[in-house]
Amino acid sequence: MAAIIMDGKALAEKVKGQVRAQAEALARTPGLAVILVGDNPASRVYVNGKKKDCAQCGFYSEEYALPAETSQQELLELIETLNSREDIDGILLQLPVPEHLDEQALLHAIRPDKDVDCFHPYNVGQLMIGEKGFLPCTPAGVMRMLQEYGIDPAGKRCVIIGRSNIVGKPQALLMLRENATVTICHSRTQGLKEECLRADILVAAAGKTGLVTGDMIKPGAVVIDVAMNRNAEGKLCGDVEFAAAQEIAGYITPVPGGVGPMTRAMLMENTLLAARMHG
């Protein structure tokens, strides 16, 4: 039987509707500042999407589209200004930044209570020990989708392909928090196919088109494709061979229309949380 397709687009619309209703009940409008350095076309698309989401949720948003040559010092000064502004609840530095910039130092300069991406070491630490606070947007979006489809990770084998700070590592923490048995695979993993075949929940976040083939999927498994790649024809696709996987999996996310819109919806939730914290 073909897998159930998990509709991230529809769920994201529902979440944003809930965020808007909660934002309207606040005494002031939540505000998000987005910083984009350089002219990466994919980043431009993402930033436009985030601005649209803000409008949809009734948030104030501000964009800083800066030339690729912007210096570290100029960016640190901008972040410092945004840190001290009362109308700005969240600050997002779109990644990647140009090579001459120290990405980590910039992310660490964002005040933790405005770090709606959950990239600051303080927030990463809070996540690690299970304290309340911001959740990283993509992994949180995955967990929300599982919840919506009534999939409880407790006791299940979860295999994550990818160990990035943005997806793989925090995804493992959130799965662990929900009592899954977690394995992280990466480019040096031996026997990736065998690892994947044991997965009740498989999260692909490697960024390699066609990496996960149908014969790597356990019948009935939940297959979550986080990747956003372009195939040879320039079409958006994930890491999973969708047509083959769909025949074997129990649930599967499409690309586009799966995890991507959920990531954006979780950013709106984090911005709402920041506004609540700021009172």
* Interface with ligand GUN, residue 82, by CB under 6 A: no
Alpha-carbon span 129 to 105, nearest angstrom: 23
Judged by CB under 6 A, the chain residues 124 through 183 that form the site for ligand GUN are 137-138, 166
- Tokens describing residue 26: 């606040």
* Stretch touching ligand GUN by CB under 6 A, among 69-77, 89-97, 173-181, 248-256: 89-97
Give CA separation, 165 vs 4, 104, 117, 205, in Å.
Answer: 29, 11, 11, 11
Size of the site for ligand GUN (CB under 6 A): 8
* Interface with ligand GUN, residue 226, by CB under 6 A: no
Question: How many other C-beta atoms are found inside a 10 Å radius of the C-beta of residue 110?
Answer: 24
Q: Which residue in the list 16, 94, 200, 218 is annotated as catalytic?
A: 94
* Interface with ligand GUN, residue 271, by CB under 6 A: no
| Closer residue to ligand GUN in complex, CB, 123/138 | 138
Judged by CB under 6 A, the chain residues 96 through 125 that form the site for ligand GUN are 117
Least separation in angstroms between residue 243's CB and ligand GUN is 26
Least separation in angstroms between residue 93's CB and ligand GUN is 6
* Interface with ligand GUN, residue 92, by CB under 6 A: yes
Among 61, 70, 94, 171, binds ligand GUN (CB under 6 A): 94
Least separation in angstroms between residue 152's CB and ligand GUN is 26
Told to judge if 94 belongs to the known catalytic residues of this protein, a careful annotator would answer yes
Q: Concatenated DSSP letters for the chain? A: -PPEEP-HHHHHHHHHHHHHHHHHTSSS--EEEEEEES--HHHHHHHHHHHHHHHHTT-EEEEEEE-TT--HHHHHHHHHHHHH-TT--EEEE-SPPPTTS-HHHHHHHS-GGG-TT--SHHHHHHHHTT-SS---HHHHHHHHHHHHTT---TT-EEEEE---TTTHHHHHHHHHHTT-EEEEE-TT-S-HHHHHHT-SEEEE-S--TT-B-GGGS-TT-EEEE---EE-TTS-EE-SB-HHHHHHH-SEE--SSSSHHHHHHHHHHHHHHHHHHHH-
Least separation in angstroms between residue 27's CB and ligand GUN is 28
Told to judge if 50 belongs to the known catalytic residues of this protein, a careful annotator would answer yes
Q: Which residue in the list 117, 200, 225, 239 is annotated as catalytic?
A: 117
Told to judge if 115 belongs to the known catalytic residues of this protein, a careful annotator would answer no
Least separation in angstroms between residue 138's CB and ligand GUN is 6
| Closer residue to ligand GUN in complex, CB, 195/225 | 225
Alpha-carbon span 200 to 183, nearest angstrom: 11
* Interface with ligand GUN, residue 93, by CB under 6 A: yes
* Stretch touching ligand GUN by CB under 6 A, among 7-15, 17-25, 71-79, 91-99: 91-99
* Interface with ligand GUN, residue 95, by CB under 6 A: yes
Residue positions annotated with a catalytic role: 50, 94, 117
The contact set with ligand GUN (CB under 6 A) reads 92-95, 117, 137-138, 166
